[in-house]
A and B are shown apart, each in its own frame.
Chain A
Amino acid sequence: MKTLVITLLALAVALGPTAGPTLAQDKSVFIPLLVYRTGPYAPSGIPIANGFVDYFTMLNERDGGINGVKVAWEECETQYDTKQGVECYERLKGKGGGALIVNPYSTGITYQLIPKAQVDKLVVFSMGYGMSAASDGRWFPWVFNFPTNYWSQASAVIRYIGTQESGLDKLKGKKIAHIFHNSPYGKEANPTLEDLAKKHGFELTQLAVDHPGQEQKSTWLQVRRLNPDWIFMSGWGVMNQVAVKEAAAIGFKMDHFIGNWWSANDSDVVPAGDGAKGYKGATFHAPGTNFKVHAEVVKFVYDKGKAVGKKEEMGAPLYNRGLVNAMLSAEAIRTAMGKFGNKPLTGEQVRWGFENLNLTDQRLEQLGMKGFTHPVKVTCEDHEGNGPILVQQWDGKKWNIVSDWVAPMRDVVRPKIEAAAVDEGKKLGYTIRDCSKEK
Chain B
Amino acid sequence: MTETLLAVLRPFAEIAGSPAFFIEVLIGGVCAGLMYSLVALGFVLIFKASGVFNFAQGVMVLFAALTLVGLLERGVPLALALPVTMAVMVALAFAIERMVLRPLVNQPQIILFMATIGMNFFLEGLGEMAWGANVKKLDVGIPDKSFMVKGVQINQLELVAALTAAVLVTVLAVFFQRTRIGRALRAVADDHEAALSIGIPLKTIWVVVWSVAGLVAIVAGIMWGAKSGVQFSLSLIALKALPVLILGGFESVPGAILGGLIIGVGEKIGEVYWGPLVGGAIENWFAYVLALAFLLIRPQGLFGEKIIERV
Contact = CB atoms under 8 A, between A and B. Distances in A.
A209 B284 CA distance: 10
A219 to B, nearest CB: 8
Given A217-B31, A218-B268, A249-B146, A210 B231 contact: no
Interface of A: 37-40, 42-43, 46, 182, 206-210, 212, 214-215, 217-219, 221-222, 224-225, 237-238, 241-242, 245, 248-251, 267-268, 270-273, 275
A249 B155 contact: yes
B281 A210 contact: yes
A242 B28 contact: no
B34 to A, nearest CB: 12
Contact of B229 (A39, A210, A225, A271): A271
Contact of B284 (A210, A245, A251, A270): A210
A241 B134 contact: no
B303 interface: no
Nearest to B271: A218
A238 B133 contact: no
A241 B232 CA distance: 13
A4 B228 CA distance: 45
Contacts of A38: 128, 133
A214 B133 contact: no
A241 B155 contact: no
Interface stretch (B78-86, B200-208, B233-241): B233-241
Nearest to B145: A249
A214 B153 contact: no
Contacts of A272: 144
Nearest to B31: A217
Contacts, number: 121
B118 interface: no
B240 A215 contact: yes
Interface string B5-37: 000000000000010010011001101100100
A268 B128 CA distance: 19
Contacts of B137: 270-271, 273
B167 interface: no
Given A218-B28, A225-B21, A210 B145 contact: no
B139 interface: yes
Interface residues of B, number: 45
B233 A238 contact: yes
B229 A241 contact: yes
B267 A218 contact: yes
Given A42-B134, A221-B24, A238-B233, A245 B144 contact: yes
B227 interface: yes
19 contacts: A39-B133, A46-B134, A182-B280, A208-B281, A214-B228, A214-B234, A218-B28, A218-B267, A221-B28, A222-B271, A222-B276, A225-B21, A225-B272, A238-B228, A238-B229, A241-B231, A245-B144, A270-B137, A273-B144
B157 A249 contact: yes
A208 B157 CA distance: 24
A242 B283 contact: no
Contacts of B234: 214
Interface in B111-156: 128, 133-139, 144-146, 153, 155
Nearest to A242: B228
A251 B146 contact: yes
Contacts of A42: 128, 133-134, 232
Contact of A273 (B29, B35, B139, B240): B139
B279 A208 contact: yes
B259 to A, nearest CB: 16
B228 A40 contact: no
B182 interface: no
B41 to A, nearest CB: 17
A241 B136 CA distance: 11
Contact of B272 (A209, A221, A238): A221
A203 to B, nearest CB: 14
Nearest to A181: B281
Given A242-B227, A242-B228, A214 B135 contact: no
Contacts of A215: 32, 35, 237, 240, 283
Contacts of A214: 224, 227-228, 233-234, 236-237, 240
Given A224-B153, A250-B153, A43 B227 contact: no
B299 interface: no
A271 B228 contact: yes
B275 interface: yes
B281 A245 contact: no
Contacts of A208: 279-281
Contacts of B133: 37-39, 42-43, 46
Contact of B232 (A40, A224, A268): A40
A222 B267 CA distance: 13
Contacts of B136: 271
Contact of A43 (B31, B224, B231, B284): B231
Interface string B26-68: 0011011001000000000000000000000000000000000
